[in-house]
Amino acid sequence: MSMYAYVAGTTNDDINDKGSVACQIDFLKQTNVDYDAYYVDTFTGVSRARFQLQKLLMIVKPGDMIDVMDVSNMMSNIRELSCLLYYLEDLQITIYSDEVELDVGSIRDQYTIAMMCRAEKLTMMQRDFNRKKTCQLKRQIASIRSKENKRETTQQDYQIYNMLMNSDYKTVQKATGLSRSTLYRLKKRIQKQ
C-alpha cells in the first residue's frame, strides 16, 4: 500500500489562498504523513491541464491512497470528477481529503447528486433566459408595429385617399403605382384618424 499526495492550484505563493499550490503543500506537510510521492499540477492562465494526475493514475494500484486538500481539485468540473471517482472506485483507491477519509463510493454519490443539481440549475437558467429573450422579442415586435401604425400621414396620402373615395381601386392603382393592399392599409389608417 502506497500513500500519494496530489496538489492542483495556481502558482500564487500566498499560503492563505486555498487555491494556491503553496497553501495545499503546506497543508499536506502539516499532516506529518510520509508520502511516497507528491504530484503537483500548477495552473497558469486558462490552462487547467492535470498531467501529473494522469501520471499518478497510471501508477496507483488497488489499496493505494491519495491525499488531497480538496477533492474538487482533482478535476475542473463535476462531470469529470464523477467519472474519475467511478474509475478510482473500480481501482479500489482510497482518497483522503481536508477533513476526513473519504470512501470513493460515498463521495461519488455526493458528486453525482451535485452534478444532477447543477444540471437542473443550468436547465432552469436556460429556461429563464429563453423566457426573457422571448419577452424581449415580443416587446421589439410590438414596438416595430406601433411605429408602423404611427406613420405620419402626408399630404400625398390624403390625395390618394380622396382619389380612392371618388373612384375604384384599379383606377387608383394605375394612377399611383401602389398595390391594392397598400391602398387598403392607407385607407384604413386615415379612417382611424
What pLDDT, in 10s, does the model give residues 136-177?
888 888 877 776 655 566 788 888 888 888 988 888 888 888
- Cell digits for 91? 481501482
DSSP 148-176: HHTPPPPHHHHHHHHHHHHS-HHHHHHHH
pLDDT, position 29 = 82
Cβ neighbours of 94 (radius 10 Å)? 16
H/E stretch holding 10 reads strand 3-10
Starting at the edge strand found earlier in the chain, the sheet holding 94-96 runs 37-43, 3-10, 65-67, 94-96, 101-102
Q: pLDDT of 98-107, one tens digit each?
A: 644 445 555 5
Average pLDDT, stretch 41-52? 78
- Between CA 96 and CA 156 the distance in angstroms is 85
Q: What are phi and psi of 11, to 5 degrees?
A: -85, 5
Per-residue pLDDT averaged across 70-79, rounded?
72
Task: Out of 3.40.50.1390, 3.40.50.9100, 3.40.50.410, 3.30.497.10, select the CATH number for domain 3-114.
Answer: 3.40.50.1390
Say what the alpha-carbon torsion angle 96, 71, 52, 77 is, to the nearest 10 degrees. Answer: 160
pLDDT at position 101: 47
In the chain, what are the domain boundaries?
A: 3-114, 155-192
pTM (two decimals): 0.49
